[in-house]
Amino acid sequence: MTPKGPFDLARSREFFGGWPSPPSDPEAIVMAFPVEGWRTSASVVIHQQRGGRVVGDVYGAGAHAAKAWRQALATLSLDVDGRSYPGLGRRDAVIARLQRRYGLIRPTLFLSPYEAATHFVLSHRRSIAQSRATRARLAEEHGDAFEVDGVTFHAFPRPQKLRRLGAARGLDPERLLRLRGVADAALDGTLDRSRLRRLSIERALSEIRGLRGIGEFFAQGILFRGAGIVDDITRDEQLRLAVQHAYGMAVPPDSAAVDRIAERWRPYRMWAEVLLVLQLFREGGRHALVSRPRGRRRTVDA
């Protein structure tokens, strides 16, 4: 496919990272994931040609190859028309500066809202290394495997397998219950990416918060980083700190002030937020980021 608007796979990989490459093509990336609908999994190898065209090979999906390809493109926000994205810089000098510094990058999403939800369950109150190790172990032991260029890649377990999961190393009983709830929500369509995008933000967040152990902060991550909302922003302390840092404010702005500034970012408010948080992470240091909004009820995300 030819992206609508600017897109640079190398820059996306530089700033969001984490993707492995096939040995024969170090500039390509490999994704392995359950295909929404959950009848199969797939591995997709994506490469960007010199002229900008994005090409890929789909392994293992059979009759669902086209669906797997669309899911991979959505993960890179390539299902969105970004031709007017550069125009944000003409309305906001701060965003223009960040677009020059980091390029016209698009958000890289979780492979599905289902995988976003499992990520937050696995990572809650655990180190990055611990959660990654648990996720990799689940994929290797219960996910579908694909051989690409002589290397085996494992998809995360499909929800049918996850909901039947018994005791597993690294998973306490409460975390297992939460994962089974996520699997059920994927199977009944609650976490379907297209469906979540069609709902209002308020209703989508409300439904996601209905999952066991999922509060406001996690719900926003699942919706915005899993489903890929384009023209809205999160309401959390991290964005307020990012706006404070980028706009040179003495104190973090309140949500109303952030909303007023964000009006200049339409119709790509989330893409602008990603630029701001990226700058905060790289220039403000990890200590500037927060793991959860303060002042929330502690009966959720706990």
pLDDT at 269 (0 to 100): 98
d(CA 76, CA 71) in angstroms, rounded, equals 9
CB atoms within 10 A of CB 160: 13
pLDDT of 109-129, one tens digit each?
A: 999 999 999 999 999 988 989
d(CA 263, CA 185) in angstroms, rounded, equals 33
**Inter-residue long-range contacts of 140-144, CB under 8 Å, 24+ positions, other chains counted:** 141/168, 143/32, 143/34, 143/41, 144/32, 144/34, 144/40, 144/41, 144/60
Question: Which superfamily, per CATH, for 113-145+154-227?
Answer: Hypothetical protein; domain 2 (1.10.340.30)
pLDDT at 17 (0 to 100): 72
pTM over 0.85: yes
pLDDT at 287 (0 to 100): 41
**How many CA atoms are closer than 13 Å to the CA of 23, on its beta-carbon side?**
7
d(CA 298, CA 302) in angstroms, rounded, equals 6
pLDDT at 167 (0 to 100): 79
Ranges in the chain, pLDDT < 50:
286-302
pLDDT at 297 (0 to 100): 34
pLDDT of 168-197, one tens digit each?
A: 887 999 999 999 999 999 999 999 999 999
CB atoms within 10 A of CB 25: 12
pLDDT at 18 (0 to 100): 80
Strands 54-59 and 41-48: antiparallel
Backbone angles phi, psi at 46, to 5 degrees: -120, 135
